[in-house]
């Protein structure tokens, strides 16, 4: 699953994939988030998934003026999105 939440809107968007998320899928999701934000800069709170640190992702973050904030490794309890994941996994 790939998803995004915000303080203003709650769940911003999500996709459920049958397999692991690939970089291409993540990049497309980020582009859609940027479009929803009408080009305004924003921040993404990310875990340490490989696609979050891929060259393509980092280039997109720079291009779209997105600030990436990485969670402490192995600390999902600090990631607010986990509450949504627990609903899907149930």
Band of the pLDDT at 17, cuts 50, 70, 90? confident
Summarize pLDDT for 40-75 with one digit per residue, the tens: 999 998 988 899 999 999 999 999 999 999 887 767
| Residue 38 scores a pLDDT above 80 | yes
| Residue 12 scores a pLDDT above 90 | no
| Residue 90 scores a pLDDT above 60 | no
* Alpha-carbon separation of residue 25 from 19, 20, 39, 67, 74 (angstroms): 11, 10, 20, 19, 23
Q: Say which CATH architecture domain 2-89 belongs to.
A: 2-Layer Sandwich (3.30)
Three-state secondary-structure class, residue 11? strand
């Amino acid at each position: 699953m790939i998803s995004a939440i915000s303080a203003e809107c709650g769940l911003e968007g999500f996709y459920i994939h049958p397999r692991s998320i690939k970089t291409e899928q993540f990049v497309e999701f980020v582009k859609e988030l940027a479009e929803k934000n009408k080009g305004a800069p924003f921040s993404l709170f990310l875990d340490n998934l490989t696609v979050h640190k891929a060259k393509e992702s980092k280039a997109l973050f720079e291009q779209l003026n997105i600030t990436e904030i990485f969670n402490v490794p192995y600390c999902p309890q600090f990631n607010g999105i986990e509450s949504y994941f627990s609903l899907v996994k149930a």
